[in-house]
Amino acid sequence: MHVSRETLPSGARGGVNQVWQISNGKQYYFVKTHLQQSFSAEVDGLIALQDAAVVRIPTIVCHGHAAKTFYLVLEWLSMRCRGNETHLGTHLATLHRIVGPHFGWHCDNLLGTFRQTNATCATWCDFWRAHRLLPQLEMASTQPWGATIVKNGQHLLDQLGPFFDDHHPIPSLLHGDLWHGNVGWLDTDTPVLFDPAVHYGDRETDLAMTELFGGFGPSFYSAYQTHYPLQAGYPRRRPLYQLYHVLNHANFFGGGYIDHAHHLLMLLLKSIG
């Protein structure tokens, strides 16, 4: 068995897990390892996307725990960082048309190292308040910089209703962590999705995430809009959905993400009036 560290494209490594390329002499495999976190939730999400049969994901070989280390073994796919984004937009729109019975998911999962609670809720507004923004604000309350963000954040939580007065999303199947580092393309130009944080929710959250860190071009959004147009009001809700990810980064990395969170909160509060 040959084992080597695989050099990933810039921005794809992340820093949460160790990643490896291994070979049995006949074929290669992609391996992720972590000393503390199980990969069971990621496996659950990959299986959900695989069962949807509308997007390409790496095939799961095995996962488990050995020698005090959690591991996940996937098929090795030679991927490019760039490809035909029209295909990606079309596939994502098709994925989002798969509808679940409620908002949430049957198990919790991870966004990076943050544990996402996915308890089901009858309304999307309640889910976003209780299981996305509130946990991040509770974490921010333990940070030395958190007082103002928590104060403004609580004010926002108390006034979420107006964002959904004319918006009643259906519970779409979501990737959940759709930034450009979690997408690749095969030589056939087939897009591949990986590292999901799957749940049923407002499809706008996946789109808002793609716009947060860049990396997706006009053809992606044009294809998505052609196959599943977004509802009016999305630009107003976009910073509300991006706030969750920015708070998560602020809680773990600090730095400029703190100022970004401040900016989004003030923008959202101003839009309420």
- The CA-to-CA distance between both ends of the chain, in Å, stands at 63
Catalytic residue among 44, 165, 177, 195: 177
Per-residue pLDDT tens over the stretch 96-116: 999 999 999 999 999 988 999
Phi, psi dihedrals of residue 112, rounded to the nearest 5°: 70, -120
Per-residue pLDDT tens over the stretch 4-23: 444 333 333 344 688 989 98
- The residue among 164, 169, 141, 189 whose CA lies nearest residue 230 is 169
Tell me if residue 189 is catalytic: no
User: Do 2-75 and 85-272 show the same overall fold?
Assistant: no
Single-letter amino acid, residue 143: Q
- The residue among 191, 192, 199 whose CA lies nearest residue 175 is 199
Domain chopping of the chain, boundaries? 2-75, 85-272
Mean pLDDT of 85-98: 97
2-75 CATH fold:
Phosphorylase Kinase; domain 1 (3.30.200)
Q: Inform me whether the pLDDT recorded for 1 exceeds 80.
A: no
**Which segment of 10-19, 24-33, 35-44, 63-72 scores lowest on mean pLDDT?**
10-19
When the candidates are 3.40.50.1580, 3.30.565.10, 3.40.50.920, 3.90.1200.10, the CATH number that belongs to 85-272 is 3.90.1200.10
Instruction: Output the pLDDT for position 247.
Output: 98
- The residue among 233, 235, 239 whose CA lies nearest residue 133 is 239
Give the up-direction half-sphere exposure of residue 70: CA atoms within 13 A in the CB hemisphere.
12
